[in-house]
Amino acid sequence: MGVMERVKAPSAKQRAAKAAPVDLPLDQILQGDCVEMMRGLPDASVDMIFADPPYNLQLGGDLLRPDGSQVDAVDDEWDKFDSLATYDRFTHAWLKEAKRILKPGGSIWVIGSYHNIFRVGTALQDQGYWILNDVVWRKANPMPNFKGTRFTNAHETLIWASMGERARYTFNYRAMKTLNDELQMRSDWLIPICGGQERLKKGGAKVHPTQKPEALLYRILLACSNPGDVILDPFFGTGTTGAVAKRLGRHFIGIEREDDYIAAALERIEMALPLDESAVKTMMAPKAATRVAFGTLVECGMIAPGTVLTDAKRRWTAKVRVDGSLDCEGQPAGSIHKVGAGVQGAPTCNGWTFWHVDTGKELRVIDAVRQDWLLANEA
């Protein structure tokens, strides 16, 4: 992917030189204000945008747990705006530039909380975008409401929009259905918040207060982009979009102002390992795949794409693809159940008990991995 680097905002003179073609800064982090940086990108040059803008939480004072300890909440300067009108002007400005640089067949995803997502939705419609879905990210392990004055805020909302009412857009329906055990993917997604080894920390403190889980970006990029596409993230933070794009064979362009976030993102993306080409191929046609969904284990990294599965007697092997389907010599690609039945010449197969992962010490049935997920993510 080449060497990643920081790129300073272009000058007004550079932005005015529209006659000369501008190369896209692929797989780089542009340092500066997102609106200014987007103005330096060519028209219709980006395939998809994922945006996690400031939520404008307007927190008043410290948030304390029942034991008196302070919650590490979002109180950074980048999340503060003088008024709702100021926030609205900022939202319209970046969405306007986003629409200019998106290709006609591109789409945009914006995530937010109840503090800002409704204002963002209005701005999207004002700018001429066409809302395709609002998706509820239901957090498997949300932070409690420590004051006991409201319901536990257990979700965030994502808005997915195309360039206009009649605009074409990418939606890999088959990949989403395969990922969800051959059921249509719904608009409510149960995904754990970022934690464990994935949560970036420095000196024991979170590097970024609103770091998004890679599983969330994995699903979005798999659904609405293709290998080789260019994904822009104008609020790059610690680089979740870049790390997942690299894994899935997409290009990214990140925009970020803060030095600490950029440093963390560069280190993180450098360590992200791209998947091999065969694993990135997704199921795009007829029936395939089957409950937690096998695709859930893949997107959260418990069974990584490219993992080789085998039966208990090591007679057959199959490689896990990026969408949870299996690639097995002599068989059409399909679900753990379909491919398991195919290699045996049987009408049906319970793939959960048929396929195993070689841990290096033993063969472990994949149903045991599913049980690990259930134990770790009980609501």
Q: pLDDT per position in the chain (379 positions), as tens?
A: 444 545 544 444 444 333 334 589 999 999 999 999 999 999 999 999 999 999 877 644 444 445 555 444 445 554 567 788 899 999 999 999 999 999 999 999 999 999 899 999 999 999 999 999 999 999 887 778 767 788 988 999 999 999 999 999 999 999 999 999 889 999 999 998 866 666 665 666 666 566 788 899 999 999 999 999 999 999 999 899 999 999 999 999 999 998 988 998 998 899 888 887 777 777 654 433 335 899 999 999 999 999 999 999 999 999 999 999 999 999 999 999 999 999 999 999 999 999 999 998 899 999 999 988 887 775 4
Judge whether 352 and 370 are in contact, CB under 8 Å: yes
What pLDDT does 17 receive?
A: 37
CA dist., res. 229 & res. 234, Å (int): 16
DSSP 125: H
- Give CA 29 to chain center in angstroms: 17
> What pLDDT is attached to residue 373?
87
Q: What is the pLDDT of residue 99?
A: 98
- The distance of Cα 119 from the centroid of its chain, to the nearest Å, equals 22
Closest CA to 309 of 291, 294, 293: 294
Instruction: Name the amino acid, one letter, at 244.
Output: V
SS3 at position 113:
coil
Q: Are 56 and 81 in contact (CB under 8 A)?
A: yes
Residue 338, phi then psi, degrees to nearest 5: -65, -45
The residues facing 206 across adjacent strands are: 201
Two structure tokens written together for 291 = 């409950």
